[in-house]
Amino acid sequence: MGTALVTGASSGIGRAFAEALAARRDDVVLVARDTARLDQLASKLKGAHGTHAEVLGADLTADAGVAAVEERLRAGVDLLVNNAGFGTFGKFAELPIETELGEVQLNVVALVRLCRAALPGMIERGAGGIVNVSSVAGHQPTPYNATYGATKAFVTSFTHSLHEEARSTGVRVTVLCPGFTKTEFQERAGFDSSAVPGFLWQSAEEVAAAALQANDKNRAECVPGLLNRISATVSGAMPAAVSRRLAGAVVRRVE
């Protein structure tokens, strides 16, 4: 038993993380903007598992929101799950720049700040864990999804580096790189996923369970699902000119 802080906990993979952690009797700190959803989830977790669920409403695209979560992390947690994030689809030159910068702020800047707030205490205690949620999209260039793919490439590289730095400290650092996952992500990003074959999809619960198992074993990276692992491996081995053209062609077909 311990205390885990999960960002983006109001829905999707973040909610699945919170439920899985509570089921194994960890206390949870639930972070998101939608406090009404968090309150409902907290009540459900307390009733189902008897664990303590703390609600922390915060907008991680704003400095004040990140600062509030940093303060809670410095007070001490055993696991940080950096799950909050969003994506956009379309030609970069036609997307609102404010949205793209907000995407970088949430997917990259907030994540870096929260890792920095959590790590010193964990290292001092000689125990703890961090799971940073990336994507298989971070393994290759992603035309029409350019900012999102770039932010996830950063998260993947950054987390691998932290894993190596923390290797002898007792702190476990894992990057989670899921593929298509049944959440609200696609709808919020304006992406029509109806053409994506059913066999490519995973549930948020499957993804969260795989990530927690990987972090418990101190694995640097978790790519849930055999097809996703093959895709990530092949994409990483391809010349960039080939992988970006293939990715662009796929996105144009399913849009």
In angstroms, the CA 229 to CA 168 distance is 27
Token code pair at residue 193: 């996923």
Q: Is 144 a catalytic residue?
A: no
For Cα atoms 11, 16, 21, give the angle at the middle one, nearest 5 degrees.
Answer: 130
> How far from 132 is each of 74, 210, 222, 242, CA to CA, in Å?
18, 13, 10, 28
One DSSP character per residue, 189-244 reads: HT---TTS-GGG-EEHHHHHHHHHHHHHTT-SEE--SHHHHHHHHHHHHS-HHHHH
Let me know: does 128 contact 172? Beta carbons within 8 Å. yes
Q: How many other CB atoms sit within 10 Å of the CB of residue 36? A: 10
- The one catalytic residue in 148, 158, 180, 185 is 148
Q: Which residues are annotated as catalytic?
A: 148
